[in-house]
Amino acid sequence: RAKAPKSQVRIVEHGEIKMGELSFIMAHRVNGVSALHTDLMKSTVFKDLHALHPDRIVNQTNGVTPRRWLHGCNAGLRNLLNETIGEEWVCDLQQLEKIAPLADDAGFRDRFMAIKQANKQHLAGWIKDNMGLTVSPDAMFDVQIKRIHEYKRQLMNALETAALANAIRRNPDADWTPRVKIFGGKAAPAYLDAKNIIRLINDIGASINADPVIGDRLKVVYPANYNVSMAEILIPAADLSEQISTAGKEASGTGNMKFALNGAVTIGTLDGANVEIRDHVGDENIYIFGMTAGEVEAAREGYSTQSYIDQSPILTEVIDQVRNGFFSPDEPTRHWPVLEKLLRDDYFMVAADFDAYWHAQRRVDVGFADKDAWARMAVLNTALSGWFSSDRTIQGYADDIWGVQSLSGEVK
């Protein structure tokens, strides 16, 4: 076997136990949970251990259970699928591929999108009842729900939302695609930076929602106490799924899978399972933007947040608004900690990817305005997401890791 420098594979170093190395050495297999993350483990964090044990790292990409995340939470779509292809898809999710040809059937697309519209109307009523905010179910429901963390870049979404509001104010009579921006998620108790981002999102939302010039062209929703029960209402109603983490930082979230399964179109970076979603649904049915994991690492040397801001008049305007207290006139310095952290240490490269994100969102505007084309994308996202079933993941564990009798009865 190849040899790695001993200093790189010590379990104990400087009097501390290196838990990652200990876990790797004691493990039978180490799962990377997505294709991209598996490759990164081999080439970065466990590079030397991988050289010593080249067969230990494997990949079984995460999955989601269709029993909860389609059959249970989206009754309208469940019934349409049962009527169209039977009920076996519930335990064999790749049977959803049978509806792929129906993406070109106008009648099926209409029925599919009528279900989406009913889910949106239900969510609009829920928002009204729980938040007192009126939103139009005819607008695009643009959803980012996940724990609040800097690498997931809710901040970039918030800044783009503020920038869109600025554009609408300047030209309110333009042909805007109406949006409802929905955020959901909690921060860890001691994660002050994440809590500051939550405050900024809510203040940006309050400013936009109270602006009569913007009106129904843009609304911002951040319901309290995000949880699974709320997700079961939000996900079936989503038109656009925000999966915008810094490339290389999301091992394999599963929210993107739940959204795609329910007919939402993804906007995202080539990170985590987004890569595999793109591979399954096709480049034409997903909106990819921003740097790759390799480009992120290459950009770290000599990275300057301010240089990227200076190159972007759109971002500059929003940064100036945060600095001047536009979103918190009662306390103009309230959001300075967010700004200071961004300018001092933009480790997750919000500024570097901002313009690419902005332009991708404008492509989304155009795409959503073409109702037939968007409906086709929505149907294909559902039809081609069957591979992301947790049944497939568990079968992979049984076959390739545990060596137990498979669900088909074959002994591996």
Task: Give the pair of three-digit tokens for residue 200.
Answer: 């900024």
pLDDT digits (tens, 9 = 90+) for 184-226: 999 999 999 999 999 999 999 999 999 999 999 999 999 999 9
Q: Which residue has the tokens 């079961």?
A: 232
What's the CA gap between 306 and 286, in Å, rounded? 30
Task: Give the pair of three-digit tokens for residue 102.
Answer: 């129906």
Q: Which of 369, 375, 365, 352 is nearest to 267 (CA)?
A: 365
CB contact at 8 A, 155 and 342:
yes
CB contact at 8 A, 41 and 57:
yes
**Residue 135 backbone dihedrals phi, psi, to 5 degrees:** -125, 155
Query: What angle is formed at CA 193 by the lines to CA 337 and CA 272, rounded to 5 degrees?
Result: 130
Query: What angle is formed at CA 265 by the lines to CA 263 and CA 266, rounded to 5 degrees?
Result: 130
pLDDT at 251: 78
Residue with the larger pLDDT of the pair 9 and 153? 153
Residue 8 has pLDDT above 90, yes or no: no
Give mean pLDDT, residues 90-119: 98
DSSP for 78-120 reads HHHHHHHH-SGGGT-GGGGGGGGGGGG-HHHHHHHHHHHHHHH
pLDDT at 224: 97
pLDDT digits (tens, 9 = 90+) for 226-255: 999 999 999 999 999 999 999 999 877 899
Q: Which residue has the tokens 């996940």?
A: 146
pLDDT digits (tens, 9 = 90+) for 15-42: 999 999 999 999 999 998 888 889 999 9
Task: Give the pair of three-digit tokens for residue 37.
Answer: 């993350």
The type of residue at 404 is V
pLDDT digits (tens, 9 = 90+) for 296-332: 999 999 999 999 999 999 999 999 999 999 999 999 9
What's the CA gap between 79 and 85, in Å, rounded? 10
Q: What is the mean pLDDT of the chain?
A: 95
Full-model pTM = 0.93
